[in-house]
Structure 1
């Protein structure tokens, strides 16, 4: 920042050594302050913050690193930096949530860049199918209601799928149908196949495939 100000000094004063030293001395303080501000901004950026910086962000948004329950399968209730970052993002999204059920889809995409399917059962419950979550601790946080926001008084049934689910005449990140030009080869994670039952390839029909 100092150099940009020094460049503004006109030629008739630039050769004055005492004047230039005085200006540099005055600017050095503000230059250090500016460098500190940039450093703090980077340190507390949610995409890069770790350790104490993450904990401070958690105090601001209302999410603690230690989970309020004991996770299954011997997992530690103290989140590592990556899992805690997911929780912080989710808490920020909750704080900004407008309250609509289908707004959750936009929040989920912004948080994880992955698909989610929501069905309103019209009985004060909703079914949420989260697609593509592969780590156990995040699944635990979803089940405990720490990740996905929900309307007050509404019960959420959570389901998980590691792959896109089957649907007729649809072609989205979360639902795949017959119309894809080469869908069995280009989407190897999709386990449903019409009129094919081959355990070696993982392709099954209506009776056994995971989409059921």
Structure 2
């Protein structure tokens, strides 16, 4: 952390007794000291572990991960089914989208950014892809099985995976797809 005394101590003994000179130097240098301190502390605001809100959005922008995720609508309003009455389902009309957009909370977004960073550094190997899927499922104890075919790979993820995480994986927000290889994901609860 820079301090004003770091610079005023550099004044030679010839001018150290001149109070107006010292005051002028202090007034001139204070802005630079403030700028140095801001520059030295700015990285902590964008540290992935400490960032929140708009700082986390900036980190996500840098790595190519949006906070907004498209989710499929599974439950629609219905009079015929129990548990899907008023205030319990989404109204649907012809022409409405079959998906909704949700905004990730900071913790889930941070997890998604970590996985996206790994995707950006991914070497195209199967073990690395499995590691990325394990990270995005956040150690929930899911089992990942892989079936390799000719120019295709199928991932079966067994366990309790949230709808948001399923959407992140299936909708291609994590591009785990080597060139020329078709990749499919299935989930078993």
1:123-177 CA distance string (max 9 Å, x none): 312325477x76542243233332462324322334468xxxxxxxxxxxxxxxx
Shift of 1:33: 1.0
Corresponding position of 1:185: none
- Alignment check: 8 A CA contact 1:101 1:151 kept: no
- Give the aligned length: 160
Q: After the TM superposition, which residues 34-53 of structure 1 pair with which residues of structure 2 at under 5 Å, given as runs?
A: 34-53=36-55
Corresponding position of 2:86: none
Indicate the structure with greater strand content.
2
- The question of 1:125 aligning with 2:126 is answered no
Which of these residues, 13, 17, 29, is aligned with residue 27 of structure 1?
29
1:157-207 CA distance string (max 9 Å, x none): 34468xxxxxxxxxxxxxxxxxxxxxxxxxxxxxxxxxxxxxxxxxxxxxx
Structure with greater contact order relative to length (CA < 8 Å, sep ≥ 6): 2
Q: TM-score, normalised by structure 2?
A: 0.60
- CA distance in structure 2 between the partners assigned to 1:4 and 1:130 by the alignment: 62
- Alignment check: 8 A CA contact 1:65 1:79 kept: yes
- The alpha-carbon distance between structure 1 residues 155 and 106, as it changes in their structure 2 partners (threshold 3 A), is closer
Shift of 1:28: 1.5
- Alignment check: 8 A CA contact 2:153 2:182 kept: yes
Which segments of 5 or more consecutive residues in structure 2 lack a partner in the other structure? Answer: 76-88, 90-99
Corresponding position of 2:81: none
Which of these residues, 135, 139, 142, is aligned with residue 169 of structure 2?
142
Corresponding position of 2:106: 81
- SS in structure 2 opposite 1:121? strand
- CA distance in structure 2 between the partners assigned to 1:11 and 1:39 by the alignment: 30
- The alpha-carbon distance between structure 1 residues 58 and 113, as it changes in their structure 2 partners (threshold 3 A), is closer
Q: After the TM superposition, which residues 110-121 of structure 1 pair with which residues of structure 2 at under 5 Å, given as runs?
A: 114=139, 117=144, 119-121=146-148
Shift of 1:40: 3.0
Corresponding position of 1:183: none
- CA distance in structure 2 between the partners assigned to 1:70 and 1:79 by the alignment: 15
Q: TM-score, normalised by structure 1?
A: 0.55
RMSD between aligned alpha carbons?
3.7
Compare 45-54 and 144-153 and name the one that shifted more.
144-153
- The alpha-carbon distance between structure 1 residues 130 and 148, as it changes in their structure 2 partners (threshold 3 A), is farther
- The question of 1:96 aligning with 2:121 is answered yes
- Alignment check: 8 A CA contact 1:118 1:129 kept: yes
- Alignment check: 8 A CA contact 1:83 1:137 kept: no
- Alignment check: 8 A CA contact 1:90 1:148 kept: no
- The alpha-carbon distance between structure 1 residues 50 and 91, as it changes in their structure 2 partners (threshold 3 A), is same
